[in-house]
Amino acid sequence: MRFLVCSILLLCISAFRTPRPAPPLTLSVDNHTVRSGAEVCVDVRVKHFWDIMSIQYTMKWNPKHLAFRGLKELNLRGLSSQNFGLHKVQEGMLTFSWYDAALRGITLPDGTSIYQMCFLAKAPPGTKTWVRFVDYPTVFEVSNKHSELIGLQPANGTIRIE
C-alpha cells in the first residue's frame, strides 16, 4: 500500500512540474571562400528545429561586396519564393517569414539546410565579408506548435573573397 501511495504521489508531482523551456532555434549560414567575380551559394541551416510553427527574421550582407542572385534548394514544407521579401536586396537585406500551413509544427534534423542564398562576389581579392541574421526590418520571432515563442540563436557566416 505504501508503494502505491508513493507512486501516485510521484506521478502527481511530476504532472505539475514546470516543463523545461525549449532550446532556442539556431539558424546558421555556412562559411565559404570564393573567387572575385564568381557566384557563391550559402546554406541556411537549422538546429533544434523541433515542432516549429513559424519563423521570421531578416538576412543582411554588404551590398558593396556581394550582389544577390537568387534563392535555391527550398527545403522546408510550404516554403516558396513568396516567403521572402526581395524589395531590399539592392540594399543588402532579405526578409523572411514562414509558417506551417498544416498547423502541426515541423521537426527537422540538426544541420538541415532549409534554403540557399546565392551571391555574386564583387569585392576585390582579400576581402572578408559576412552574411548575418538581423532583427530589422523583420524582427526575430519563432513559435512552436504549442504557440510558445522560443528564442532564435543566429550563427552568422563569413565569405572570403580571393
CA-to-CA distance for 49 and 54, rounded, in angstroms? 11
Mean pLDDT value across the chain: 90
Please give the model's pTM, rounded to 2 decimal places.
0.84
Domain boundaries, the chain: 24-161
CB 41 within 8 A of CB 116: yes
CA 45 – CA 76 distance, rounded (Å): 11
Would you state the pLDDT for residue 34? Answer: 97
3-18 residue pLDDT tens: 444 444 444 444 455 4
DSSP assignment of 82-131 equals: GGEE-TTGGGTEEEEEEE-TTSS-B---TT-EEEEEEEEE-SPTTEEEEE
Residue 80: band (very low, low, confident or very high) from pLDDT cuts 50, 70, 90: very high
Tens digits of per-residue pLDDT, 120-152? 999 999 999 999 999 999 999 999 999 999 999
pLDDT in tens, 26-59: 999 999 999 999 999 999 999 999 999 999 999 9
24-161 CATH choice from 1.10.3720.10, 2.60.40.680, 3.90.1150.10, 2.40.50.140 = 2.60.40.680
Confidence of residue 23 (pLDDT cuts 50, 70, 90): confident
Q: What is the pLDDT of residue 22?
A: 72
Amino acid at 25: L
